[in-house]
A and B are shown apart, each in its own frame.
Chain A
């Protein structure tokens, strides 16, 4: 195992020892605690409180955040490794965690001032309080720069008015990073501000939970702000810098989302390999059929490419380099890959794959959103092209 041969080129693809243990620990947790309740979560559309508590005591909610606030400080690579492992469980869990860590509290972690962080990060790291990320609006999805939610300065704070929709964990989160227009004349260029908003405060209403195609156990809803007051010191970063915060946060979100894609696809591949070896038709396992072998070979190849681009980009992020273009590439490729792989997995499982019992049909429905949220794959292409054509 650990007879490390360092390549003369200096490249090293081995995970550091602590991340190997992190990976193993989360895998064990997934297998022992999350797999057994997969169909329960699917049928009841709820994650049991006891499971959320177990996720909390393992320390999942503080994974990427600074140790000084009680986080685990695993770094971007560590966070990707963690989400890759969680990707082997139902999507509900990674959505709960993703809304909180990858985007909701991430904006505060990245751009929040020291006082704001000292006040709120400890409870967020411990998972005692949950966060969500509220950017999208009925009239502004892909065109996020065009949001209509307004924040008007009034005395010692801001007054918030507007509607956010499709907000993951909007029903259960205690706080939200909310993006609102503070200067309509300037729009995304200095006119949008990020606010840290207490969702249990006056003026905030949560809409009924949306009825979705999949991701059962994770909910989205509207967040409606009617003259909701937000103290001036709850501005994340500086006034007018909100759009930048949103984009920076989404870079992180996209990368970790892609890591989850790798894990779920890997799991689908493992299930498919096992099934192909075991399912006998025409007197032999279907794995003997070249058509099936080619599907497996393509799945494995795509996963290999995806994992490497995730790890490479995480490595870049950990070095403090800019990785917006890579994050967009990784999100685009890995989500399409995961959708393709689960489609092939279902094909290999034949009619059984279409039945609830195998869990493949659930994964199939759950995968489809990956090409849409955190920026559709068309928007990712726009980001990549913009970087390519810059200057």
Chain B
């Protein structure tokens, strides 16, 4: 079985994100980029499937990113993935969700796979659209929000997380599954794995390699346009209660809470 995990490289979740007022895009070079934390669960799940049948299963990592994305692919390889492919091309800059899904679909067709695993969303754009769009474009079943995943013969079954429980969903492969945070605890890359990752193959492909239509990618090929953006309104300042007598202070906090029906 060939499993492909789609991963996105995103600005470090702890870093302050900056939008470029000119291009209206996230300034990705200003911050450190990391592996989308949601995708680590997908990688872990793929590795568990592989470790259960190491001779017959192979885990490939696929990403669309600038060349600096190589770094996150190395991390995925250090965790234990077998190989990786990066689609990188200057013409991709500015691609929206649908253009990204279009490219991922071509990329996955190019490398071939039985099971696609993805995160549910990315920590930067938080659209959560790519998995569904990708499955649609690939023409394969789409199983989302898996909190448990089992492969049996030629089919995949998940427990789909819902508000008040879960639904069991099953589909024949090839299929796409997006996994939730609760599904597992991703492993640390071991130090040995990090050094070993250097010897694993990362193929870098361009738009021509996967036969992409250049008019469907980049800002020009994207249907959505970021018209403008604005900072979220600053939150109102909190009330500061100053009192010399702690009893009086406590009383006033008490009154304040009563007033707002918090108590």
Contacts and interface: CB of A to CB of B under 8 A. Distances in A.
Interface of A: 1-3, 17-18, 20-22, 25-26, 28-29, 57-60, 62-63, 67, 70-74, 78, 82
A29 B33 CA distance: 19
B260 to A, nearest CB: 32
Nearest to A2: B68
Nearest to A21: B194
Given A22-B191, A72-B191, 11 more contacts: A1-B29, A1-B71, A18-B194, A21-B194, A57-B188, A58-B191, A59-B193, A60-B191, A70-B192, A72-B192, A72-B195
9 contacts: A1-B71, A2-B70, A3-B68, A17-B198, A25-B191, A63-B191, A67-B192, A67-B196, A70-B192
B33 A59 contact: no
Interface of B: 29, 32-33, 67-68, 70-71, 74-75, 78, 188-198
Top 10 nearest A-B pairs (CB, nearest first) are: A59-B191, A2-B68, A72-B192, A59-B190, A72-B191, A59-B192, A18-B198, A72-B195, A22-B194, A21-B194
B191 A1 contact: no
A58 B188 contact: yes
B24 to A, nearest CB: 22
Given A1-B29, A58-B188, A73-B195, A21 B75 contact: yes
B71 A20 contact: yes
Contacts of B191: 22, 25-26, 58-60, 62-63, 72, 74, 82
A71 B192 contact: yes
A25 B195 contact: no
A67 B194 CA distance: 12
Contacts of B70: 2, 17
Contacts of A25: 78, 188-189, 191, 194
B71 A62 contact: no
A25 B198 CA distance: 15
B67 A2 contact: yes
A25 B34 CA distance: 12
B51 to A, nearest CB: 15
| From A3, A18, A62, A63, residue with most partner B Cβ within 10 Å | A18
A2 B71 contact: yes
B180 to A, nearest CB: 22
Contact of B194 (A2, A60, A72): A72
A99 to B, nearest CB: 18
B197 A18 contact: yes
A21 B189 contact: yes
A389 B189 CA distance: 47
A57 B190 contact: yes
Given A1-B68, A2-B71, A18 B190 contact: no
Contacts of B33: 1
A2 B78 CA distance: 19
Contact of B74 (A18, A58, A73, A78): A18
A62 B68 CA distance: 29
B52 to A, nearest CB: 20
A3 B68 CA distance: 8
Contacts of A26: 191
B190 A67 contact: no
Nearest to B34: A24
Contacts of A70: 192
User: Which of B70, B75, B190, B192 lies at the interface centre, i.e. has the most chain A CB atoms within 10 A of its CB?
Assistant: B192
A242 B110 CA distance: 59
Contacts of B198: 17-18
Contacts of A1: 29, 32-33, 68, 71
Contacts of B190: 57-59, 72
A90 to B, nearest CB: 20
A29 B188 contact: yes
A212 B194 CA distance: 37
A20 B71 CA distance: 9
A209 B195 CA distance: 37
B195 A18 contact: yes
A29 B190 CA distance: 11
A29 B189 CA distance: 11
Nearest to A33: B188
A78 B195 contact: yes
A47 to B, nearest CB: 19
A72 B192 CA distance: 4
A7 to B, nearest CB: 20
Contacts of B195: 18, 22, 67, 72-74, 78
Contacts of B188: 25, 28-29, 57-58
A1 B32 CA distance: 7
Q: Which of A3, A17, A70 has the most CB of B within 10 A?
A: A17
Contacts of B189: 21, 25
A17 B196 CA distance: 12
A59 B194 CA distance: 10
A17 B191 CA distance: 13
Nearest to B189: A25
A3 B121 CA distance: 27
Contacts of A28: 188
A363 B258 CA distance: 49
B74 A17 contact: yes
A25 B197 CA distance: 14
Contacts of A21: 71, 74-75, 78, 189, 194, 197
